[in-house]
Amino acid sequence: MHAPDGFLTAGTAVATGAISVGAIGVSLRQAREQLGDKQVPLAGISAAFIFAAQMFNFPVAAGTTGHLLGGALAAILLGPAVGSLIVAVVVIVQALLFADGGVTALGYNVLNMAVVTAFGGYAIFRALLRVLPRTATGVVFASGIAAGLSVVLSATAFSLEWLFGASFPVPFDTVFGAMVGVHLLIGVGEGVLTGFAVGAVVAARPDLVAGVRDLDRTALRDRTSIGMRGFALAGLLVSLLFATVVSQFAAPAPDGLERVAQDTGFDAAAEDHALADSPFADYATAGLGNEPLSLAVAGAAGVVITLAVGLGLVAAVRDRGSAGDRAGDRQHSPT
């Protein structure tokens, strides 16, 4: 989600830039307190790790690959201050040297990809540790869910910025629906990868994981083997639950914000869009009288639809590639 130059209005870029500069300033100070003069080499090499992990392709489905975003991972392993600091450095270097993301878009890119994912992800992680068993298994699940939700938070933050700084009139609910829908799916991948990566570090060097430093070491040694299937299923259930529950909160909020937007002259986006007549327009399902219920149905349907489309794409890719794969398998089979 490296937004390019001019994607949001200049005012939004300046405002988010100010927030990001403030957040990086606070993170810098906290990181210095936490790491002392070790800060530069440790944060630098950890940033190299996050950058490298973003270049490393993981399997997603049928031979297609995705990569880690790493905001929540960095925060859980190194604490939210160092975590947001190093992801911010990664994002800044990607814009300046790799032209990935605009230089004038750095304000919102750093805010969404570093600050929101690291601090938001860490907050969710710590909150989950209060309810989950404080064992290695609990930490893996807490990390996974927190990482998945941090991606959704990031998408939500972008949608909110869109509300105030849209550069063209696509309505808030379209952007919100598309961003959160797509990122729920990306979040499942992010969650699975982060959960197992944190699990590996907890098994090898629990003292390095900032997020579990206050937990009991002997309890952390308690590891039940986690089936991959169960983990992916849990991720899916959480995202379904999230879409259903969050749509309840999301619904009244845009109304208030839309009014603010109208008052400030940003009313073009409030016009009805082409999908206004679709069954899930405005996030309320047509024909269902009960508003919260219909919102929940719309939210859950969004996840199911995104998933179905994703699986459909996967099936299409797989069918096309299977002939070649079989030939490949034969070549590699031991004789």
Partner 1 sequence: MGAGHAHTLYRHGHSHVHRMAPQAKLAAAFVSVVAVATTPREAVWAFALHAGVLAVVVAAAELPLGFVLRRLLVIVPFVGVALLIPFVAGGEQVEVLGVGLSREGLWGAWNVLAKAGLGASISIVVAGTTEEARILEGLERLRVPTTLTLIAGFMLRYLVLIAEELRRARTAMLARGWVPRWLGDARPAASAAGVVFVRSYERGERVHAAMLSRGFTGTMPELDTHVTSGTDWVLGMGVATAAAATAVVAVVTT
Task: Provide the terminal-to-terminal Cα distance of the chain, rounded to the nearest Å.
Answer: 46
- Residues from 269 through 288 that contact partner 1 (CB under 8 A): 269, 271-275
CA distance 191 to 184: 10
CA distance 241 to 193: 20
CA distance 272 to 18: 32
- Provide the CA 37 distance to its chain's centre, in angstroms: 31
CB 288 to partner 1: min, Å: 25
Query: In terms of CB distance, is 194 or 247 closer to partner 1?
Result: 194
CB 292 to partner 1: min, Å: 27
CA distance 47 to 41: 10
Binding status of residue 42 toward partner 1 by CB under 8 A: yes
Binding status of residue 316 toward partner 1 by CB under 8 A: no
Binding status of residue 146 toward partner 1 by CB under 8 A: no
Query: In terms of CB distance, is 192 or 215 closer to partner 1?
Result: 192
H helical segments located in 56-120: 71-78, 80-98, 106-110
CA distance 331 to 188: 34
Query: In terms of CB distance, is 89 or 115 closer to partner 1?
Result: 89
CB contact burial 165-196 (16+ within 10 A = b; e otherwise): bbeeeebbbbbbbebbbbbbbbbbbbbbbbbe
Binding status of residue 32 toward partner 1 by CB under 8 A: yes
DSSP labels for 213-280? TTS-HHHHT--PPPPHHHHHHHHHHHHHHHHHHHHHHHTHHHHHHHHHHHHTT--GGGS--GGGGSTT
Per rule CB under 8 A, count of chain residues that contact partner 1: 92
Binding status of residue 126 toward partner 1 by CB under 8 A: no
Choices 51-59, 254-262, 294-302, 304-312; region in contact with partner 1 by CB under 8 A:
51-59
Query: Residue written as tokens 């190093």?
Result: 86
- 23, 116, 193, 250: which one binds partner 1 (CB under 8 A): 193
- Residues from 170 through 189 that contact partner 1 (CB under 8 A): 170-171, 174, 188-189
Q: How many residues in the chain? A: 335
Query: In terms of CB distance, is 164 or 296 closer to partner 1?
Result: 164
Query: In terms of CB distance, is 55 or 131 closer to partner 1?
Result: 55
Binding status of residue 305 toward partner 1 by CB under 8 A: no
Binding status of residue 48 toward partner 1 by CB under 8 A: yes
- Listed residue (110, 115, 63) closest to 84, CA to CA: 115
Choices 150-158, 193-201, 237-245, 253-261; region in contact with partner 1 by CB under 8 A:
193-201
Choices 41-49, 115-123, 252-260, 300-308; region in contact with partner 1 by CB under 8 A:
41-49
- Residues from 208 through 267 that contact partner 1 (CB under 8 A): 208, 228-229, 232
Sign of CA dihedral 223, 225, 230, 235: positive
CA distance 131 to 124: 11
CB atoms within 10 A of CB 263: 9
CA angle, 183 as apex, 54 and 228 as ends, to 5°?
70
Binding status of residue 315 toward partner 1 by CB under 8 A: no
- Residues from 62 through 91 that contact partner 1 (CB under 8 A): 62-63, 65, 67-69, 77, 85-86, 89-90
Binding status of residue 92 toward partner 1 by CB under 8 A: yes
Binding status of residue 55 toward partner 1 by CB under 8 A: yes
Query: In terms of CB distance, is 193 or 296 closer to partner 1?
Result: 193
Choices 102-110, 131-139, 149-157, 305-313; region in contact with partner 1 by CB under 8 A:
102-110
CB 140 to partner 1: min, Å: 10
Query: In terms of CB distance, is 267 or 291 closer to partner 1?
Result: 267
